[in-house]
Structure 1
Amino acid sequence: MNVKSFFSEHIKAALKNDPPGAWMPDLPNGCIRLSSGYPDPALVPAVEIKGAAVRLLDEEQDLPLHYLGSPRIEGLKKQIQKRLAERGIEVMEDQLLITSGACQAIDLIARILLDDQAVVAVESPTYMEALEIFQNYTDQIISIPVDSEGLQPERLEEILNQRKRTDLTLPRFFYTIPTFQNPTGTTMTIERRKHLLELSNEFDFLILEDDAYGELAFGKSTLPLKSLDNRGRVLHVGSLSKVVAPGMRIGWIAGGSEFIKALEWFKKDLDHPFSQSTMAVYLENVDLEKRLDQLKDVYRAKCDALIRSLEQFLPKSVSWYVPEGGYFVWIRVPGVDTSHLLSQALAKGVSYVPGKYFFLDEKDGTEFLRLSFSYADEKEIIEGIRRLGQII
């Protein structure tokens, strides 16, 4: 039997890409994980979530374990609406969809907006899993460079004008991580955010804002792009993965009601009622602002330790951006193929993600690598950078 003969042409095309997660290195035992974009293990509220699950089952018995789940799911929606409002995003109930994490949110948006005729624009570099998702729907992807102030909107404007003059298809949407970007850690300035919104209106495209790290500012917070959107151009994706626990799979999409209705049509029963109900109980009993302050303090200290270690142990030729929040630091190592360097790093017991995986054209990322300061402790971070410095 030829299994592939049963696949649709759409799926056959998608399966020609690298498999999802191919960028993840196999880590030796005891390896210092500067590759992992995971929360600090000590900051995951396992005890509190266990307590929330017990309380939920004690109070509601079997109800959260059914298809429809607990009425607290609606409470979770209201909790997220309140949180968004505090960040300048006012949405009605029919303008918000709870999803199984941010990746499901991005995939659903791609599903309703993309086909093999559609064009999508992305930052360069960008989140590799979003690239993987978009490549499942279209091979027409264009990249716009990022610098120390985030997206370069003037470059996007040049490309849009050029495509318009030559009758090339304009993007259906632009995917951006404007705040503490993955992988560069950069933040798009307010001026550039406004310019991007103006371009979306002028050239009639949508904006997919991935705000996974937006609440992890080390100093003054930056307003989400969606809070500046007065024309309904922005589909805002958020998540509790970075501020509570990724395994709970709680994300959302905030956008126009017609978009939300279409997204809901395809999400159907792809929910986790028990997880959503448990999260609602957890949020009922936690001071989220206090928790966020704790997270910011820990990640700020870790980031400072990493930057100090880079200055101490890496050659002067190596450069990086200093993030103002989030999880990541983006490194350039001139003249070095960081993919080839990785095997030596792993042998020395330290991991990172080679830069090539964050680019549409992998050659653009040869000299770059991404470091995460979120997962390892400060002592491990310092030792990991010391080892990496020796290898470089």
Structure 2
Amino acid sequence: MNYSLFFPENVKKALQNDPPGAWMSVLPEGCIRLNSGYPAPNLVPAQQIKAAVGTLIKEEQDLPFHYIGSSHTASLPQQIQKRLESRGINVCEEELLITSGACQGIDLIARSLLDEEAVIAVEAPTYMEALEIFKNYTNHIIDIPVDEYGLNTDQLEEMLEERKQARLPMPRFLYTIPTFHNPTGTTMPLKRRKHMLKLADKYDFLIVEDDAYGELSFYESVTPCKAIDDEGRVLYVGSLSKVIAPGMRIGWIVGAQELISVFDWFKKDLGHPFSHATIAAYLEGNSLEDRLHLLREVYQARCQTMLKALKEYLPAPITWNVPEGGYFIWVKTPGIDTQQLLEQALAIGVAYVPGKYFFLHQKEGIEYLRFSFSYAEEQDMVEGIRRLGELLAPYYN
């Protein structure tokens, strides 16, 4: 049977794109995983989460396992509101939607705001899974370069003015990762953030701010764009995946009540009551601020270890960004196709993510790769960089 006959045209078009997770390599046993944007295994609070589950079952028996049962579930939005308030984002409960991780939040925004004619703007490079999501809904995607200070808002303004003069449709929204960008690790300064917000008001588009790494600052905390959003232009997407545990799938969208109610209309999954209750119980019994302090210290040390190894082992003229937080270091390997190099890297037991997957136009990323310093042990990171240095050296002799 030809099941493709049952698919509408928009689905057929979406299926022509790379499948989800195409960037994930099959790893040989014992491979040093410099590709994994995951929390360090020993930093996941497994015992504390286990204790929270024990408390739930002891206090409430079967209630946490029902659709609407545990009293702890209802407290999670309040706990997230309190956390957002500490970062300058004040919202009522009607302006907050809990989602199954940040990706569901991004998908709900895309599903609700986009159609086949919609235009959106993204960064170049950008988070590859967000790019995968957007391609499911529209092919009208404009990419704006990222430099050492994040999204280049001057080039964004040039694009918007050109479209206005040509009477072309404005983007429905701009998707941006302004703080500890994935993959480049860059952070947009306040001046650019204000410029971006001014452009959104002038040219009438929304901003989707992905702040998955925003609380993992090595130095001073960074003000989210949503905290300075006076016009209600910003849809703020956050997550506990990077600071507690990704498998719990706790994310959220913050935005105007009219938009949040539409996203909730299409959500339809009744949430995840057990994981919501578990994380709420965990937060009630543990200091998230203390945990964040620990994570910042550990990840800063890991980042410094990787930066030192890059300087010691990678040949010139390879260069990289120096992040001020988050998980990632973005590396440029002039003259080398990092997708082709990956097979050789895996053969010596080292994995990374080729840069092409982070670009709308993949050829723009062939000389880049992304390392993560969050997952592998420090001695393994150093060894992995050393092996790659030996692999790369002949290309530059």
Which TM-score band (shorter chain)? over 0.9
Q: In the alignment, what sits opposite 1:78?
A: 78
SS at match of 1:370: strand
Secondary structure of 2:143's counterpart equals strand
What is the percentage of aligned positions where both structures have the same residue?
Answer: 63
- Identify the residue that residue 122 of structure 1 maps to in structure 2: 122
Moved more, 156-165 or 262-271: 262-271
Give 1:242's aligned residue. 242
Residue of structure 2 equivalent to 1:330? 330
Q: Alpha-carbon deviation of 1:2?
A: 1.0
- Residue 154 of structure 2 is matched in structure 1 by 154
Determine the C-alpha separation between the residues in 1 that align with 2:376 and 2:13: 38
Matched, 1:389 2:389: yes
Counterpart in the other structure of 2:15: 15
| 1:355 alignment partner in structure 2 | 355
Counterpart Cα distance in 1 of 2:269 and 2:125: 34
Matching residue of 1:98: 98
In 2, distance between residues paired with 1:167 and 1:322?
Answer: 40
Conserved 8 A contact 2:319-2:331: yes
Q: Which amino acid aligns with 1:166?
A: A
How far apart are residue 270 of structure 1 and its match? 4.5
Aligned counterpart, 1:89: 89
Q: Within 1, Cα distance between the matches of 2:58 and 2:262?
A: 36
Contact kept, 8 Å, 2:330 with 2:368, in 1: the verdict is yes
Report deviation, 1:192: 0.3
The 8 Å contact of residues 124 and 146 in structure 1, kept in 2 or not, is answered as yes
Instruction: Report the CA distance between 1:69 and its aligned residue.
Output: 3.5
Using the TM superposition, name which of 269-278 and 241-250 deviates more.
Answer: 269-278
The 1-side partners of 2:114 and 2:57 are apart by 41
Match in the other structure for 1:66: 66
The whole-number CA distance in structure 2 between the counterparts of 1:210 and 1:96 is: 15
Aligned positions, number: 392
Where in structure 2 are the equivalents of 1:293-332 lying within 5 Å?
A: 293-332=293-332
Residue 7 of structure 1, CA deviation: 1.2
Q: Distance in 2 between matches of 1:169 and 1:61?
A: 55
Offset at 1:324? 0.2
Shift of 1:362: 0.4
Deviations 1:4-62 (A, max 9, x none): 11112221111111110011011000000000000000000111111111111111111
Q: Deviations over 1:365-390 (max 9, x none)?
A: 01000000000011001001001111
Asked if 2 retains the 8 angstrom alpha-carbon contact of 1:69 and 1:277, the reply is: no
Give the C-alpha shift of residue 214 in structure 1: 0.1
Q: Which amino acid aligns with 1:316?
A: A
Residue in 2 that maps onto 1:24: 24
In structure 2, distance between residues paired with 1:325 and 1:377 = 18
Counterpart contact for 2:67–2:270, Cα < 8 Å? no
Inter-partner Cα distance in structure 2 for 1:6 and 1:268: 23
CA contact (8 A) 2:35 2:351 kept: yes
Q: Is the 8 A contact 1:119 1:172 kept in 2?
A: yes
- Mark the runs of 5 or more structure 2 residues left unpaired by the alignment: 393-397
**Contact 2:163–2:170 at 8 Å: present in 1 too?**
yes
Per-residue deviation at 1:349? 0.5
Task: Provide the alpha-carbon RMSD of the alignment.
Answer: 0.7
Q: Give the 3 Å change call, closer, same or farther, for CA 270–343 of structure 1 in structure 2.
A: farther
Equivalent residue of 1:117, what SS? coil
**Deviations along 1:36-94, whole A, 9 cap, x unmatched?**
00000000011111111111111111111111232222200000000000000000010
Match of 1:261 in 2: 261
Structure 1: which 4+ aligned runs deviate by more than 4 Å?
none
* C-alpha displacement of 1:250: 0.2
For residue 235 of structure 1, give the secondary structure of its aligned residue in structure 2: strand
Aligned residue for 1:181? 181
* 1:331 counterpart letter in structure 2: V
| Residue 167 (structure 1) shift | 1.4
1:37-76 matched pairs, under 5 angstroms = 37-76=37-76
| Contact 2:113–2:172 under 8 Å retained in 1 | yes
State the distance in 2 between where 1:52 and 1:297 align. 25
**Distance in structure 2 (CA, Å) of the matches to 1:329 and 1:154:** 25
CA distance in 2, matches of 1:154, 1:276: 41
The SS at the match of 1:209 is strand
- Distance in 2 between the 1:280 and 1:308 partners? 39
| Secondary structure at 1:20 match in 2 | coil
Deviations 1:146-202 (A, max 9, x none): 011111000000000111111111100000000000000000010000000000000
SS at match of 2:374: coil
Aligned to 2:229: 229
Check whether the contact 1:34–1:381 (CA below 8 A) recurs between aligned residues: yes
The separation in 1 between residues aligned to 2:193 and 2:270, in whole angstroms, is 33
Q: Distance in 1 between matches of 2:183 and 2:79?
A: 29
Paired residue type of 1:4: S
Amino acid paired to 1:137: Y
8 Å CA contact 1:176, 1:207 repeated in 2: yes
Unaligned runs of at least 5 residues, structure 1: none
State the Cα distance separating 1:269 from its structure 2 match: 2.4
Contact 1:102/1:251 (8 A) holds in 2? yes
Shift of 1:115: 0.5
Distance 1:278 1:365 in 2: 40
Residues of 2 paired with 1:229 and 1:318: CA distance? 38
